Structure 1
Amino acid sequence: MKLLLIEDNLELAHWLVQLLREQAFVVDHVADGAAADQLLRQGRYDVVLLDLNLPLLSGKGVLRRIRERQDAVAVIVLTATASLDQKVQCLEIGADDYLVKPIEVRELVARIQALMRRQMPGRANLLSCGDLHYDLRTRQFECAGVELALPPRERTLLETLMRHTGEAVSRQALVQSLFGVDEDASADAIDLYVHRLRKKLEASRATIVTLRGVGWLLRARST
């Protein structure tokens, strides 16, 4: 899952990025609204964590532009202001949630996960493909009744494929999901992670299929 943190307090941002990455999120960070707006026009994010008091373009300005171009990305406002009027205004502009600083990371992670579940109606908290299951609450995989522990990159890749089971996911979409803007992804990085996942899923009824020139999809094996 890929997050964009928009926060001009660099000390707070550094702390949040570290803690969120420890939770296996891919996190990009920018410190002003103009840079955030440009990045959001170019990239794909699952959740935006948005401070309001930003230089160059305010947080509300960023939020308005997101919704004006009909971008449905989930947005959680992070602010030191507990004003009810401001909270209502942000929600009316298009925020999905509103958290008052100081931030409790456990609560933030729970709210991120809740937003992701809300974007997948009808699927409850469990995604399944064959005997492979993914719990949206705990972000844990289970294969044939046994927990499947994965390194962060492989975990993010399989999570992305699970969210689009039966649908083709392009190389570019996977690169954007797995890597931050400050990270260099080699040309064969995705192929390497797919290869590793396939080996770990050999005994599973779920398989990753290559669609040449299109991407990859996760589906149940034919019986």
Structure 2
Amino acid sequence: MHVLLTEDNALIASGIVAGLEAQGFSVAHAATAGQADSLLRTASFDLMILDLGLPDEDGLRFLQRLRRRGLELPVLILTARDAVTERVSGLQAGADDYLVKPFDLRELAARLHALLRRAAGRATQMIEHGPLSYDPAACAAFMAGEPVDLSRREQALLQALLQNPGRVLSAEQLKDAVYGLGDDVESNALNVHIHHLRRKLGNGIVETVRGIGYRLGPAGHASAPTEAPDA
């Protein structure tokens, strides 16, 4: 899950980034509305966490501007403004959820998972794809009911594909989902993760669309691997 965090407090931002990444999220950080706007125009995100007290533009006005522009990205407001009127204003401005500081990182992660679940039209946390089941909150994958050991990068890759069924994702989009923005990634790193995912979940789990990118394979083509998974 690729999250855009818009938060001007460096200490709070670093804590959120570290906490969410430890739970399997990929997080890009913007300290201003202008930085967040630039990232939204150049990269793909699943969710946005938005502070209201930004140095260059009020968070509510920024959110309203994004919604007028047609941005449908789920947005969670994370702010110290705890009055009921502030919460109502935030939701009316286009936010999908509202969490007041101080907060528990576990609750933040749970709310993000719930927003993504709602956006995907799912009532439960578990994502089903043929014999494959994946629980993003527990970071657990199962093939025909049997647990499959996936690395953190493999989980991020699988989740990006499962959340975009039928959609072709470019290599850059998948790298953003797996590594985040700005990380120095070796040219063949994504191919290595795709190879490992195919070995563990079956060759049909990832389809290569030559010259464009990759997409989730048909549910009926997901099958148990024919050789032992990587250690």
TM-score (norm 1): 0.90
The alignment yields a C-alpha RMSD, in angstroms, of 2.0
The residue aligned with 1:208 is 206
Other structure's SS at 1:99 match: strand
**Offset, 1:110:** 0.9
Deviation of the 1:156 alpha carbon: 0.7
Give, in angstroms, the shift of residue 97 of structure 1: 0.5
Q: Please report how far the alpha carbon of residue 137 of structure 1 lies from its aligned counterpart in structure 2 after TM superposition.
A: 4.7
Which shows bigger deviation, 177-186 or 150-159? 177-186
Post-superposition Cα deviations, 1:41-83, rounded to whole Å, max 9, x if no partner, equal: 2211111111111111221232122212111111111111111
User: For 2:205, what is the secondary structure of its paired residue?
Assistant: strand
Closer/same/farther in 2, CA of residues 13 and 186 from structure 1, 3 Å limit: same
Partner of 1:2: 2
Partner of 1:27: 27
**CA displacement, residues 72-109 of structure 1 (integer Å, 9 cap, x when unaligned):** 11111111111111111111110011111001111111
Q: In the aligned structure 2, how far is the partner of 1:15 from the partner of 1:123?
A: 30
Equivalence map 1:153-172=2 (5 Å): 153-172=153-172
Provide, for residues 194-220 of structure 1, a one-character-per-residue CA deviation record: whole Å limited to 9, x for no partner: 011111124x8x532222112222223
Structure 1 unmatched ranges of 5 or more = none
Moved over 6 A (4+): none
Aligned pairs for 1:1-223 within 5 A: 1-122=1-122, 124-202=124-202, 207-217=205-215, 218-219=217-218, 220-221=220-221
SS at match of 1:182: coil
Q: Is the 8 Å Cα contact of residues 125 and 135 (structure 2) preserved in structure 1?
A: yes
Count the aligned residue pairs: 221
Change (3 A) 1:162 1:101: same
Amino acid corresponding to residue 177 of structure 1 in structure 2: A
Q: Which amino acid aligns with 1:215?
A: G
Name stretches of at least 5 consecutive residues in structure 2 with no aligned partner: 224-231
TM-score normalised by structure 2 residue count: 0.87
Letter in 1 for 2:44: R
Counterpart code for 2:205: T
Distance 1:185 1:69 in 2: 32
The aligned amino acid for 1:169 is: L
